[in-house]
Structure 1
């Protein structure tokens, strides 16, 4: 089980992570990761107005939430997938920067996926989401 301070509970927190985070799909899961800006970055150049949310405060621990829809399976299958994902994220949450928000969405393939495959997919998705974005020339 995740600590209360590490769980996403409000739909607005989920929506902010899904809309504002970096989305990466790998195998049986999709990860939405929002990392707060570094302290050395200039915040005055952003076109968006300044927001004061809990997720952006650097002293707040990294938080995680899970989305497992009925497309994954019946209640028994959904809860099994959610328990597996929660255990995997609990081990990896401390490696994320403070104030990060992670939403893990299970795809229907996660119902038949093994624990080790879910772990591999999660590690790969988080690594890609944390990597700096490459500038594409057009």
Structure 2
């Protein structure tokens, strides 16, 4: 599982960004927990969705807090990855040896840059959503 997480992260975020996410052992474990929580929440049906008058049960069992914590953690990871890519594209420190290598985040940033005239505008929020899908 760890290997597949690293492979998918490298394909989506690039070598350098994914390496910075998983280099520290504690940070790697933290990310594994966040992605595990995210996966678990995707399959969780809130009671308040089925029976709105019992929505308080979700707060009581800690679901709302877990959703908020997981969202904030994933949002900060994606924000860091996108900012790293933008910094690299603006001539910041070189992220890797191969400057022609493009990952998924680079492609999304290129679409945003090239298609402004065509009517496609991908803001940071849209880029994060596409990455999560």
TM-score with structure 1 setting the length: 0.24
Which structure is higher in RCO with an 8 Å CA cutoff and minimum separation 6?
Answer: 1
Larger Rg, first or second structure (1 or 2): 2
Greater fraction strand? 1
Greater fraction helix? 2
TM-score with structure 2 setting the length: 0.24
